[in-house]
Amino acid sequence: MMANEQHLALLKQGVAVWNEWRQNNREIEPDLSQANLESANLEAANLDAANLTEANLKGAYFILSSLVKATLERADLEGAYLIESNFEGANLREANLTGIFLELSNFEGANLEAANLEKIVLRRGTPLPGE
């Protein structure tokens, strides 16, 4: 399983282009599985229902981003910034969240089973499921 090259190319054109495409193609669930998005600026990106399984998201910036019901199984988010972002109902099973910077993000109903939650920097109370 690899990312859809068209979806990845659209995202790499920037969030404005990506969000416009998402707005015009609501029925498509983007496939970004195994994509290398290390240090990507995904500020305000609409990644709802996106498949980010095994994606490299190390050091990525999720600021005001929406990942409602996104699949991030076994994704690597080490050192990523998750600020005021929505992960409601997202699947983060076995994801690497080591050292993420977490502030005012929503994880209601998210699956964090077997996720690595070591060394998280938690600012201004973001409750994680089960806490």
Q: How far apart are CA 91 and CA 11, in angstroms?
A: 21
Which H helix or E strand runs over 123?
Answer: strand 121-123
Find the DSSP H helices in 25-122: none
Q: How far apart are CA 95 and CA 54, in angstroms?
A: 8
pLDDT of 127: 62
pLDDT of 5: 96
pLDDT of 123: 80
Helix, coil or strand: residue 119: coil
Going by C-alpha positions, the residue among 38, 42, 55 that lies closest to residue 1 is 55
Write the pLDDT tens digit of every residue in 20-63. Answer: 999 999 999 999 999 999 999 999 999 999 999 999 999 999 99
pLDDT of 30: 98
Q: Does the 1-131 domain belong in CATH 2.160.20.80?
A: yes
Write the pLDDT tens digit of every residue in 56-112. Answer: 999 999 999 999 999 999 999 999 999 999 999 999 999 999 999 999 999 999 999
Q: Is the pLDDT of residue 131 over 60?
A: no
Going by C-alpha positions, the residue among 78, 96, 104, 79 that lies closest to residue 87 is 104
